[in-house]
């Protein structure tokens, strides 16, 4: 998000970042790590708590964007949707298609949130 060009819509940037994270975390060699996390209730709980922390950080970053004035609730909601998009796509048989489907919904939600920019497709 910090490399977003002036005037560049927010949603395509977030989508691009989620795709990059997804590709990194599903690269060859990542399966044993995810199996270990998925097989351990403690690690699954820790991974979920980390997603919530990342979502809060993302919400703060969204709120700090110049030219935007979404409500705190809109920032937190969209941030959680974006962070959860990664988790849902990682578990999908077709992660790229999952990101496309999820971000269509995220962009629709963002478009109706007060103080936000129109989503770019």
The predicted pLDDT at position 103 comes to 97
Tokens of 101: 């489907």
CB 111 within 8 A of CB 74: no
CB 17 within 8 A of CB 4: no
The predicted pLDDT at position 26 comes to 82
CB 99 within 8 A of CB 18: yes
The predicted pLDDT at position 80 comes to 96
- Cα→Cα distances 92→2, 43, 95, Å: 28, 20, 5
Gap between the Cα atoms of 105 and 61, Å rounded: 21
Print pLDDT tens along the chain (121 aa).
Answer: 556 666 778 899 999 999 999 988 888 888 888 889 989 999 999 999 999 999 999 999 999 887 788 899 999 999 999 999 999 999 899 999 999 999 999 999 999 988 776 444 4
The predicted pLDDT at position 69 comes to 85
Percent of the chain as helix, strand, coil, to the nearest 5: 70, 0, 30
């Amino acid at each position: 998000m910090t490399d977003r060009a002036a005037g560049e819509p927010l949603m395509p940037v977030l989508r691009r970042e989620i795709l990059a994270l997804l590709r990194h975390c599903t690269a060859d060699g990542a399966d044993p790590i995810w199996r270990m996390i998925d097989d351990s209730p403690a690690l699954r709980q820790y991974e979920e708590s980390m997603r919530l922390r990342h979502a809060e950080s993302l919400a703060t970053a969204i709120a700090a964007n110049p030219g935007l004035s979404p409500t705190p609730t809109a920032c937190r909601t969209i941030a959680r949707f974006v962070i959860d998009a990664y988790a849902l796509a990682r578990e999908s048989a077709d992660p790229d298609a999952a990101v496309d489907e999820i971000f269509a919904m995220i962009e629709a939600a963002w478009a109706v949130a007060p103080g936000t920019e129109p989503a770019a497709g």
